[in-house]
Chain A
Amino acid sequence: MVNYLIRRVGYALIMVVLVSFVSFAIIELPPGDFLTQKIEQLRARGDRSAEQQVETLRVRYGLDKPFLERYFNWAINFLRGDFGESFEFERPVSEILGARLGYTVVLAIATTVLTWALAIPLGVYAAVKQYSLGDQIISVISFIGLGMPGFLLALIIMYFAIIIFNLEVTGLFSPEFQDAPWSFAKFMDLLGHLWIPALISAVTGIGGLVRIMRGNLLDTLGQPFVEAARARGLKNRTVTWKHAVRIAINPLITILGSDVFPSIIVGSSLVAIVLNLPTIGPVFVDSLRKLDMYLAGTCIVFLTIMLLIGNLVADLLLAWVDPRIRLE
């Protein structure tokens, strides 16, 4: 088991290096760099005085150096905990991400808890009462959730919140709490705002999970061991949860790992942009657009790390839940 863990972590490290290099290269692919864009903007405004500064900036950010050298400099500094400086914000990447990490994690956890707490019971209900009215309703809703992009739902909710309830739903805080120190009132204000992005992400995320849960459980309910459990005189609820769901839930554990951990970094970026949330997602998308290399690269590396951790955790969880795949 320890051997297995060491091997997995080793593979993960190699993976992180490869992904960071490839993503750095891909960000590099479009012609020009961050400063070319900046100059274009300045020119468009007719401001020529800044053009002289550009060369100094280029040297300062190391953009005049070849690609490989820039990558290795950044990678080595990365290991020391220095993720570089963002061109756009003109501040260290760690500072920008750090300020947003807390809210991102809170939102990711809230979304995950809400999604899973709804999806699993709904999926189980839909499977146990297959073709009933409840099943049909759940199916329709989950297909809508699957088909509707989160940002569209966010726009719809914003529209109705403002028109009907006269509610301001963007951001995570009301204006008066924005810069206030933490207090119970501020916490309640956070909860009051948090449910909207959490609900939107949950509605779009539930669909797939409900369908998978329902399908798996229907397969499992047809298995001989479920009939055998019933023939032992167990209650239907015990048969369903203890014998069928316990087996049918395994694929969801894999999804949990590959879905939830990365979402801590880039969870529902588009929804966050629409709702103007102070999470990492919008910053990440923006950094890709503006060729803000060090910020984007750092996000991608952490995204990869989260995905790898998620997969490892999922594998360990699976082994814990299912004795058939335990390593002897």
Chain B
Amino acid sequence: MQTNLSPTAVAQAPADGRETLIEVRDLKVEFNIRGGVVKAVDGLTFDIKRGQTMGIIGESGCGKSVTARAILRMIPKPGKITAGNIYYHRRRRLAGQQTAPTETNVIDLTTLDPDGETIRQIRGGEIAMIFQEPMSSLTPVYTAGTHINEAVTLHRLLPIKTLGDQMAEKIMQYRHVTREEARDIAVQMLRRVGIPKPEQRVDSYPHQLSGGQRQRVMIAIALSTEPTMLIADEPTTALDVSIEAQILDIMRELQETANMAIMFITHNLGVIANMADEIVVMYMGKQVERAKVVDLFYDPKHPYTKALLQSVPKLGPKTGQRLASIEGMVPDPLHLPTGCVFHPRCPAFMPGKCDQIVPRWVEAAPNHWARCLLYEE
């Protein structure tokens, strides 16, 4: 097993008392297609802490979903991770073995075999994912219960006994669940995500469930294994607004009880403001800004973030103003602009600078990072 220690893993003590779970360092994902190379993710760096919600926002095609899939090593062909590391601070429970709950191993996910044993234990078991398309994310010929069983029998471990307390840590022993237990867990999970009559619904086929119910089932599947992180890739985009609110409530509620981290991917600024602790803004595969949610919404630094926030429609008396939109078009990913990729659309464009110099990642304000020449010396 890979146990490369990341540069920060040992030394850095978390400032806010939360421990690091995922460190993405200078991640690059490229798609080698016929017309050239698309840099879907280009130099992404961020951390996710245990129990924290990290929001990733950006327009369609900016690399949000590819980032999520890179963490699970599920990038579709012909995409490849070409540089960077994803350090995962792993705390494992093993069936039949004694494990202390805080024994942490750091593994670099980018070095794993994408079809191998280790990543398959992590997928679904430790990092679960829910998708944008609840209508087609369940296999049509299997019941909700079958889907949950699949995840539970693979990953869920139940404590057998506590072997003793050592240094204030409980040493636990675990075992895999049995068939009957898996079914009980399925019913419990469906009840927890708010599906009525879960004892009957567990035997429902996907076509017998509504869109909102299917997304609840997806959440139930994802959370049935008690993962340490949930990746939610636009989980409410396909749902109507009232269902969206319910789904978000469920996610928040379950996060609190399970101390689970969430990586929440969306293009909906209203949703992310409610969900996230920290936000990464992406544009054309690049990370343009990262800040705590309050800082980002009240004091956005990067012109792209500012433009994005202005383009949110506001409720209230009629103002007669047109809804602001970002000038210009999203550039062709095969022929990205020189310098700062946002310069052709940027209201703060500085000729001679922005189209020539590639901006660096700088701390524009305390704990508020941006990639813009406005904040460079």
Task: Using CB atoms and an 8 Å cutoff, list the residues of chain A in contact with chain B.
Answer: 223-225, 227-236, 243, 246-247, 321-324
Contact = CB atoms under 8 A, between A and B. Distances in A.
Given A235-B120, A324-B140, A227 B205 contact: no
A229 B125 CA distance: 12
Given A228-B131, A323-B205, A324-B205, A233 B137 contact: no
Contacts of A223: 136
A323 B136 contact: no
Contacts of A228: 129, 131, 137-138, 218
A43 to B, nearest CB: 66
B139 interface: yes
A246 B115 CA distance: 21
B141 interface: yes
Interface stretch (B147-155, B276-284, B357-365): B147-155
B193 interface: no
Nearest to A326: B205
20 contacts: A225-B136, A225-B137, A225-B140, A227-B131, A228-B129, A228-B137, A231-B128, A232-B147, A232-B150, A232-B151, A233-B121, A233-B122, A233-B123, A233-B155, A234-B124, A236-B115, A246-B139, A247-B140, A323-B140, A324-B141
B161 interface: no
Interface size class of B (residues with CB under 8 A): 20 to 34
Given A227-B137, A233-B151, A233-B154, 15 more contacts: A224-B136, A225-B139, A227-B74, A228-B129, A228-B137, A232-B151, A232-B154, A233-B124, A233-B155, A234-B120, A234-B124, A234-B150, A323-B140, A323-B141, A324-B141
A96 B207 CA distance: 52
B221 interface: yes
A321 B218 CA distance: 23
Interface in B231-267: none
B73 to A, nearest CB: 10
- Most chain B beta carbons < 10 A, residue from A224, A233, A235, A236: A233
Contact of B137 (A224, A236, A323): A224
A243 B123 contact: no
B182 interface: no
B133 interface: yes
A322 B154 contact: no
Contacts of A236: 115
A128 to B, nearest CB: 12
B139 A231 contact: no
B72 A231 contact: yes
